[in-house]
Amino acid sequence: MPLEIEHKYLVRKDLWYAVQKPPGVNVRQGYLLTGPDKTIRVRTTGTEAYLTIKGASPKASRAEYEYPIPVADADELLKICTVPLIEKIRYRIEYAGKTWEVDEFFGENEGLILAEIELISEGEKYNRPSWVGEEVTGDKRYYNAYLAQHPFSGTV
């Protein structure tokens, strides 16, 4: 079974805005199904699109199945997803031999910036950049599926 091991953090905006960033990728995603034990997501990232099924995530690990689909199909599926859609710019930042994905949200979740790191094993050690703040792994308020139904208000 494919397994995703991921840690999620709030980003310290004061330090993040000073970081030299590579070009970001516009991401649009929506949810066909959200539940306590699984989600089914559609995502477009420019010229690529994916259908993703994820299992429950009580901690940092969960089952994840991701399949490429035609962008035209993804655009149609996004029309029937929960609204609002998740809209963000994703940056991939290399730091201390690891890739951090940083999402700057806009639209209904404007003002939220999250960083994620995927690991090979649960106990894997890694270094955090200075702009990485409080860990929110396992906090449902920061799951994209939750944000699609309860947009970020800046008060979380």
- Active-site residue numbers? 31
Query: Residue 137, SS3?
Result: coil
Query: Residue 41, SS3?
Result: strand
CA 110/CA 57 separation, integer angstroms: 25
Query: Residue 149, SS3?
Result: helix
Per-residue tokens: 154: 């800046």
> Which residue has tokens 């306590």?
36
Residue 43 backbone dihedrals phi, psi, to 5 degrees:
-140, 140
Residue 121 backbone dihedrals phi, psi, to 5 degrees:
-140, 160
